[in-house]
């Protein structure tokens, strides 16, 4: 395959991953409104995906001995934490708003690098943070005294913070001598997340009858089991796998640019399918959030320092596949 054909295929896979991830909230919100607890929806999503990925986990069972801390952190933060906070936020605020707040994660990563790791950040990256925060102020309409539920906003911010843990683990969890296979990390992250969520959510008390009925998808009665199948197979398994394959064909920076479309796709799908309309300032603010997140994530320093600089690619060789295969839920 020629390089141009491989790049085109990679872009197509990255777009498919963004579309798959972006559709998770649209499919989950009707289930929540039909009577399922948000955490139960998260448990169904993660557990279902973990069962699908069991053969992959068995193939990479050596990771349990080599990288136990990485797998535990990935399961707790990148899987259980991000999904739980994001789905809980969906029960209180619109899908697009929840996802846009989650996209503050690149800005929060810069804060971690600058103030915790005490490494310099580029001016362009700092500008990205300012744009992201300013755009978010428009999305939540701060001039109106927060147009959305305050707890919902905090839950979405919790998802962003868990995503910071994901990026930090991706940065520190691999080494060039013996990198952890990203598919194995994802498989065990799902398994560990499912175990944690089982203990927390106690799914045996879930109203299973909801899955035998229908859910309101923007005025249309959709089978609840079909929405769940979409969440598990498309918005989780397919989304992760296509994201990983895409970044192997593209640079992490290009894959990150395409991943920013996830928020746009989620907002458009929520508009079309759930009839969730945003005002003009909110739409403009959302665009500014995406631009700021992109700048913060992909801006590079003028000179290459010995240590990575915030705003450049923060992942060592071998871990970029994990970072581009995310999240969120």
| Model pLDDT, residue 177 | 59
Binning pLDDT at 50, 70 and 90, where does residue 247 land? low
Residue 141 lies in a domain: yes
Q: What's the Rg (C-alpha) of the chain? A: 19
pLDDT at 222 over 90: yes
> 99 with 267: CB under 8 angstroms?
yes
Q: How many domains does the chain have?
A: 1
**CB 187 within 8 Å of CB 244:** no
179 pLDDT exceeds 60?
Answer: yes
The more confidently predicted of residues 257 and 220 is 220
Angle in degrees, 0-180, between the axes of helices 280-298 and 252-259, rounded to the nearest 10: 170
pLDDT given for residue 4 in this prediction: 64
User: Is residue 98 within 8 Å of 89, Cβ to Cβ?
Assistant: yes
How high does pLDDT run on average in the chain? 77
3-state secondary structure of 220: strand
A 10 A CB-CB count for 254 gives: 18
With beta carbons less than 8 A apart as the criterion, state whether 185 and 199 touch. no
pLDDT surpasses 70 at 141: no
pLDDT at 233: 95
* Confidence at residue 5, expressed as pLDDT on a 0 to 100 scale: 66
Q: Is residue 3 in a domain?
A: no
Q: Which domain holds residue 82?
A: 19-324
Residue 287 confidence (pLDDT): 85
Q: Give which of 178, 155, 190, 195 is closest to 325, Cα–Cα.
A: 190
- Range in 32-36, 38-42, 149-153, 221-225 the model is least confident about: 149-153
pTM over 0.85: no
Query: Per the domain annotation, does 9 fall within a domain?
Result: no
pLDDT for res 269: 83
Q: Nearest CA to 243 among 48, 5, 11, 1?
A: 11
Give whichever of 63-77, 134-148, 170-184, 222-236 has the largest mean pLDDT. 222-236
Domain membership flag for residue 13: no
For residue 308, pLDDT over 50 is answered with: no
Asked if the structure places residue 4 within a domain, the reply is no
86 within a domain of the structure (yes/no): yes
Task: Indicate whether 323 pLDDT > 70.
Answer: no
Q: How confident is the model at residue 102 (pLDDT cuts 50, 70, 90)?
A: confident
The least confident of 2-16, 87-101, 183-197, 262-276 is: 2-16
224 inside domain: yes
What distance in Å separates the CA atoms of residue 41 and residue 83, rounded to the nearest whole number?
9
Residue 270 lies in a domain: yes
């Amino acid at each position: 395959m020629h390089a141009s054909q491989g790049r085109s295929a990679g872009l197509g896979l990255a777009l498919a991953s963004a579309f798959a991830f972006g559709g998770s909230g649209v499919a989950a919100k009707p289930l929540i409104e039909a009577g399922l607890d948000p955490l139960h929806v998260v448990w169904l999503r993660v557990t279902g995906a973990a069962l699908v990925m069991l053969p992959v986990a068995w193939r990479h069972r050596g990771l349990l001995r080599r990288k136990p801390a990485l797998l535990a952190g990935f399961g707790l933060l990148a899987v259980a934490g991000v999904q739980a906070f994001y789905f809980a936020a969906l029960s209180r605020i619109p899908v697009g708003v929840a996802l846009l707040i989650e996209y503050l994660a690149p800005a929060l990563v810069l804060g971690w690098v600058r103030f915790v790791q005490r490494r310099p950040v580029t001016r362009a990256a700092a500008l990205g943070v300012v744009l992201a925060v300013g755009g978010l102020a428009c999305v939540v309409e701060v001039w109106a005294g927060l147009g959305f539920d305050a707890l919902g906003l905090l839950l979405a911010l919790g998802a962003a913070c868990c995503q910071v843990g994901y990026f930090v683990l991706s940065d520190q969890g691999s080494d060039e001598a013996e990198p952890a296979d990203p598919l194995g990390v994802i498989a065990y992250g799902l398994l560990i997340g499912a175990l944690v969520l089982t203990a927390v959510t106690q799914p045996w008390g879930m109203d299973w009858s909801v899955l035998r009925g229908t859910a309101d998808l923007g005025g249309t009665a959709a089978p609840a089991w079909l929405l769940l199948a979409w969440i598990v197979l498309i918005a989780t398994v397919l989304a992760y796998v296509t994201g990983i394959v895409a970044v192997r064909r593209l640079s992490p920076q290009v894959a990150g640019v395409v991943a920013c479309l996830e928020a746009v796709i989620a907002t458009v799908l929520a508009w079309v399918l759930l009839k969730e309309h945003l005002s003009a300032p909110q739409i403009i603010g959302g665009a500014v959030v995406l631009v700021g997140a992109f700048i913060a994530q992909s801006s590079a320093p003028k000179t290459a320092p010995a240590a990575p600089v915030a705003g450049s690619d923060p992942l060592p060789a071998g871990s970029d596949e994990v970072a581009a295969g995310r999240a969120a839920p």
